[in-house]
């Protein structure tokens, strides 16, 4: 496996990163021992980048067990900021919570350091300087090696870089955005910004949360469990594009998953793409396509189906700015709407 440099950190990582969400017994593989075998096989195949999060159920505990005796050869990433309980202070990116969250993750992961500590989602209630200051202290203490963001809008990427430089703080070295054949919006601003600032990118949902596996087809009975959980699996526009990609993969003599993964790591701004196998067979399929490289002709055909910088529909877990979610942020109070 050809390793890539994670931004300008000097850290070498595999082009596939092992995502650990599906190792949580509550949402993925119910057998922790089987998940550990999957992790070991991925490491044996050359994957050295593992990404998890505190909010992924018992994922951190399972990853911690799997890495015993192998920790030094793994670049370990985890995330914080999403709610971890009913207490309103058990979430977000305040110094108060960060210092607690990192200790909890270190304990669950059975390690004394985290190679990449990422803010899972933007916290608009906390000044980014507060967040970067706390994360800088973690780097200086040796508990964290590098810091990053996830699903950060382009404006947030720029603001964080500016604040870090202005205040002499450690800066985000990575960004973790969604990216796939169907969701190419980050090509417009986020990826160019990451390249400009020397940030590594760890893209998630390269298989569009299962839509690009080839198992979800238009007009056919699909897996009802997944279709009920992910609304986007029933998006007609996305299904139409998937059918075109399935035809293209067949013409190219490739499994659909191999076409999707090869696309995700072909962009020069992408460092690694996260794979999220739930079973050993899922991992075997993805590993079999690790050496696939797409020709310019195939990439041109992909551009015709979904033009660069555009999205076909949205992922269910994609970041949506608060102003688009809350009508009160888009409308003045009724009594203030007149010009007089």
Give the C-alpha distances (Å, rounded to integers) separating 320 from 287, 303, 311, 324: 32, 25, 14, 7
Annotated catalytic residue, options 16, 56, 117, 179: 56
The C-alpha torsion from 118 through 124 and 127 to 129, rounded to 10°, is 30
The C-alpha torsion from 116 through 119 and 121 to 127, rounded to 10°, is -150
Coil, strand or helix: which one is 236? helix
Give the C-alpha distances (Å, rounded to integers) separating 113 from 50, 90, 283: 14, 21, 27
117 is catalytic: no
All residues at 6 or more sequence positions from 105 whose CB lies less than 8 Å from its CB, including other chains? 54, 60, 78, 80, 114
What is d(CA 287, CA 151) in angstroms, rounded to the nearest whole number? 26
146 - beta bridge partners?
116
Q: Catalytic residues, which ones?
A: 56
């Amino acid at each position: 496996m050809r390793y890539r440099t994670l931004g300008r950190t000097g850290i070498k990582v595999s082009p596939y990163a092992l995502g650990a969400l599906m190792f949580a017994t509550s949402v993925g593989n119910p057998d922790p021992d089987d998940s550990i075998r999957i992790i070991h096989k991925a490491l044996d195949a050359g994957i050295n980048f593992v990404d998890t999060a505190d909010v992924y159920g018992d994922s951190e505990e399972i990853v911690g067990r799997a890495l015993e005796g192998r920790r030094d050869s793994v670049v370990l990433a985890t995330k914080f900021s999403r709610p971890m309980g009913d207490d309103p202070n058990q979430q977000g990116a305040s110094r108060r919570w960060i210092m607690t969250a990192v200790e909890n993750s270190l304990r669950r992961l059975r390690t004394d350091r985290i190679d990449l500590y990422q803010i899972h989602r933007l916290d608009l209630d906390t000044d980014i300087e507060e967040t970067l200051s706390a994360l800088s202290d973690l780097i200086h203490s040796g508990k964290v090696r590098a810091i990053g963001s996830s699903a950060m809008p382009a404006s947030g990427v720029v603001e964080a870089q500016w604040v870090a430089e202005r205040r002499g703080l450690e800066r985000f070295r990575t960004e973790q955005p969604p990216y796939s054949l169907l969701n190419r919006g980050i090509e417009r601003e986020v990826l160019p910004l990451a390249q400009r600032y020397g940030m590594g990118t760890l893209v998630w949902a390269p298989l569009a949360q299962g839509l690009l596996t080839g198992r979800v087809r238009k007009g056919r009975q699909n897996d009802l469990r997944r279709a009920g959980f992910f609304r986007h699996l029933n998006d007609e526009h996305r299904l139409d594009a998937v059918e075109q990609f399935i035809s293209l993969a067949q013409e190219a003599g490739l499994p659909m998953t191999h076409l999707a993964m090869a696309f995700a790591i072909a962009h020069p701004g992408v460092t690694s793409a996260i794979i999220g196998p739930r079973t050993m067979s899922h991992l075997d399929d993805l590993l079999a396509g690790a050496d696939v490289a797409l020709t310019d002709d195939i990439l041109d055909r992909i551009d015709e189906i979904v033009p660069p910088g555009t999205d076909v529909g949205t992922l269910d877990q994609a970041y949506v700015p608060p102003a688009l979610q809350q009508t009160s942020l888009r409308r003045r109070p009724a009594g203030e709407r007149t010009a007089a």
